[in-house]
Chains A and B, each alone.
Chain A
Amino acid sequence: MGRWKSGPDARGRFGPYGGRYAPETLMAPLVELAAAYDRARRDRRFGARLDELLATWAGRPTPLTHAARLSAELGGAQIYLKREDLLHTGAHKLNNALGQALLAAEMGKRRLIAETGAGQHGVATAAAAARLGLDCVIYMGEEDMRRQSLNVDRMRLFGAEVAPVGAGSRTLKDAINEAMRDWVTNVRTTHYVLGSVLGPDPFPRMVRDFQRVIGDEARRQLKRATGDELPDLVVACVGGGSNALGIFTAFLGDPEVRLVGVEAGGRGEAPGDHAARFGFGRLGVLHGTHTLLLQDDAGQVLPTHSVSAGLDYPAVGPEHVELARLGRAEYTRASDAEAVAALRLLCRTEGILPALETAHALAEVVKRAPRLGRRRRILVNLSGRGDKDLDSVGAFLDEEAATAARGGES
């Protein structure tokens, strides 16, 4: 990809960020995992096996859709959707979960554990475990089990045990804490399928590499559809940042392509009301990596809020922080209300129900498309489908209506 040199360095650093901040018990296993992953990357047989499963079981390649009616409605740039919502299990998460499950099997680890927020990574890991005949335990915050209950049922059908996490804010961060505790205890038999570009090296690069198929495909598909053109803008939502890096990586070497990541603006700017790490975070260490982190003055991690469980996390993948530092990508945020409005707009104009996470990327498109000419192209990573979010959207709209009614009375 041009002259762009993708990190990390030998110490797992993307510029000053990243690294391997793990308890001693995990240090040797992380080195082992990195070695196994590097071997697998060079192993043609491993690549062929993964490609075959992606094609025949997971449904790759996913289509690229020209969103003609959405583009016309916004009255600006042409919008293209990379349809990861059509991937098996309903989100991009499967690209990574399947890759890591296959690697675990290669390493002789018969037990998979994973954290999940929205439930998509849990469902993907449970499905991959079922397909490969591995045991599977998914850690999920109790609050997320409530708001993503459809996915809890799906995981259980795939034979996974869903372990509720009642600590802290009972969301994604706490699920990762609990998964790490399990891994520290059972590391000899167990692989931890981390679901985003987070955690100690080699996770951020490994997850990115398993996800880059999104951007590689989209780049080819867009060129074919437009007569060899590149997008002017690539937009993706950023929880940990795996779907964003999955689509950004293919364009890093094209300086004319602007890359935009969208995080959760939540319901306001006060601590605890959002998950806007680029807006309000400071550098720190959480879950094994040095990165931007929402924390207080004493270094304690702050609670977060987002209408979407998958973006509701206080830290962000270290490679994103480096891309921001270099000015190669920019990061912005969308509020709960903007995301829900964008979700409804896509439903109405294109007949596609996106995940609430994805809707944050669409909210940014709603802001930018009208300012770009009709010949410009925006590529959006449609990271997942929104069936899981129907209850959350309904509850949000009821709440909004009630607030409006109260406002009307006063």
Chain B
Amino acid sequence: MSAISETFARCRAEGRAAFVPFIVAGDPDLATTEELLIALAEAGADLIEIGVPFSDPIADGPVIQAAGQRALAAGATLERILASIARVRGRLGVPLVLFSYANPILVHGAARFAEKAAASGVDGVLIVDLPPEEAAAEVSPALAAHGLDRILLLAPTSGPERIDLVARAGSGFVYYVSRTGVTGEREALAAELPRQLRAVRRRLRLPVVVGFGISTPAQVAAVAPLADGVVVGSALVRLLHDCRDEPERLALVAARARQLAAAVRPAAAEAGGSRRRMRRRGGPF
């Protein structure tokens, strides 16, 4: 069983969803990223998604676009990111997933990339613009050969056929995009999300992790009972940038992560008001 599968099995046994923070590697620099990874793991992250910056991030909203630009300007490359991961890997007790666009990976060649990523301690790889159809020939076999989980996405537009395709081709977990759109914070969650998640989970054995547009503890608490994991990205990326001049900025981000991590625990959701009650009052959905 992969480290990722074990993590979800453990969370399931604890009767809760996993908390999955997303950060942009190299924003504002890789030294900060290394410290941030350690801080997030200590704050209760169950798994961490590490974004690889790309010059043309078509699936990202303004916050993550800007973070990627800062990271690139500071010299982040996939190679340096993997070196950073390797440096701190021993101090992180949680699985790591690289979140990238296809080109920075393909430029290295799938096999060489997979070997390096595995050697650096990466557990899974998610490539936003590489659907299973295009990954089948080279990338998926290369990842499998090095024991890396191939994380695939599903979206509200994915019908039963695509769900089945992802069920066959993916491993580790499935990343469910909560709404049609790009990454970024949103006031409300998509109203159809609960129904869509039920439909996806009926056809799928893999754990389902929900991301895109989830940013507050209340939203995390609302999604957690419906999924195996919840991703918070833009809110943390923005916070890190907003408090860039604070000497204690990592502690501030970690404190926020702790609140988000608490929100996946059922007791916390109870304390914050049950999901049903929030819904009646026009809560997060």
Contact = CB atoms under 8 A, between A and B. Distances in A.
Main secondary structure of the interface of B (DSSP, over half): loop
Given A19-B134, A24-B131, A168-B56, A299 B78 contact: yes
Contact of B107 (A181, A186, A284): A284
A346 B131 CA distance: 47
Contacts of B103: 284-286, 293, 295, 299-301
B207 to A, nearest CB: 17
B39 interface: no
A177 B154 CA distance: 21
Interface stretch (B175-183, B219-227, B248-256): B175-183
A299 B181 contact: no
A298 B78 CA distance: 7
16 contacts: A19-B134, A20-B131, A21-B102, A23-B58, A23-B155, A24-B154, A25-B156, A173-B56, A184-B58, A282-B107, A285-B129, A287-B56, A293-B103, A295-B107, A300-B104, A301-B55
A22 B131 contact: yes
Interface of B: 54-61, 65, 72, 77-79, 101-108, 128-131, 133-134, 152-159, 162, 177, 180-182
A300 B55 contact: yes
6 nearest A-B pairs in the assembled complex, by CB-CB distance: A299-B107, A299-B104, A25-B155, A24-B153, A298-B77, A185-B181
A298 B181 contact: no
A300 B54 contact: yes
Given A299-B106, A299-B107, A28 B180 contact: no
B62 to A, nearest CB: 9
A59 interface: no
A300 B77 CA distance: 9
Contacts of A25: 155-157, 177, 180-181
A300 B58 contact: no
B134 A21 contact: yes
A402 interface: no
Contacts of B158: 24, 27-28
Given A25-B180, A185-B182, A11 B59 contact: no
A293 B106 CA distance: 12
Interface in A1-56: 11, 19-29
Which of A23, A168, A286 lies at the interface centre, i.e. has the most chain B CB atoms within 10 A of its CB?
A: A23
Given A25-B156, A184-B182, 19 more contacts: A20-B134, A21-B129, A22-B129, A24-B154, A27-B131, A27-B133, A28-B158, A168-B56, A181-B60, A184-B58, A184-B59, A184-B180, A184-B181, A186-B180, A284-B106, A285-B129, A285-B130, A299-B105, A299-B106
Contacts of B153: 23-24
A235 interface: no
